[in-house]
Amino acid sequence: MKNRKPIFYGWWIVALTVLTMSVVITPIFQGLGAFFVSLERHFGWSRTTLSGAFSLSRAEGAILGPLEGYLIDNLGSRMAVLIGLTILGAGFIALSFTDSILWFYISFLIVFAGAGIGGFMPLIAVINNWFIKKRTRAMAIGMTGINLGGLLVPVLTFAIVSIGWRTTALYLGIGILILVVPIAYAIRNRPEDYGLRPDGIQEDPAETNSISNHTYDDIEEFDFTVKQAIKTKAFWAITAAHGFSAVSAVTITVHIIPALTDMGLSLQAAGLIVSIYTSVGVVFQLIGGYIGDKFHKPKIIAVFVSIQAFGMLFAALAPNITGALLFAVLYGAGFGGRIPLLTSIRGEYFGRKNFATIFGVSQVPMNIATMLAPIMAGIFFDSLGNYFIPFLGLAILNFIGAVAILSASKPVHPSSVVVSKQG
Backbone angles phi, psi at 222, to 5 degrees: -110, 140
Q: For residues 261, 270, 166 and 117, what is the CA-based torsion angle, rounded to 10 degrees? A: -120
Buried b (16+ CB within 10 A) or exposed e, 267-298: bebbbbbbbbbbbbbbebbbbbbbbbbeeebb
Residue 36 near residue 146, CB atoms below 8 Å = no
Angle at 68 between CA 407 and CA 299, to 5 degrees: 20
Give the pLDDT band (50/70/90) at residue 58: low
CA gap 21, 18 in Å, rounded: 5
Supply the pLDDT for residue 117: 85
Residue 73 has pLDDT above 70, yes or no: yes
Closest CA to 39 of 129, 88, 105: 105
How much is the CA Rg of the chain, to the nearest whole Å? 21
Task: For residue range 101-156, list pLDDT tens digits in order.
Answer: 899 888 888 888 888 888 888 998 899 889 988 888 898 898 888 777 767 777 88
Mean pLDDT in residue range 272-295: 85
| Residue 112 amino acid letter | F
- Measured between alpha carbons, how far is 363 from 372 in angstroms, rounded to an integer? 14
pLDDT digits (tens, 9 = 90+) for 359-392: 888 877 777 777 777 778 888 888 888 888 888 9
Per-residue pLDDT of 3-20, as tens digits, reads 667 888 989 999 999 988
When mean pLDDT is compared over 215-229, 361-375, 406-420, the highest value belongs to: 361-375
Distance CA 38, CA 156 (A): 12
Mean pLDDT lowest among 78-87, 285-294, 396-405? 285-294
| Range 194-213 average pLDDT | 61
Higher confidence at residue 145 or residue 398? 398
CB atoms within 10 A of CB 259: 25
Domains parsed from the chain with CATH numbers? 13-191+221-412 (1.20.1250.20)
* Mean pLDDT for the chain overall: 82
pLDDT at site 220: 59
Residue type, position 23, single letter? V
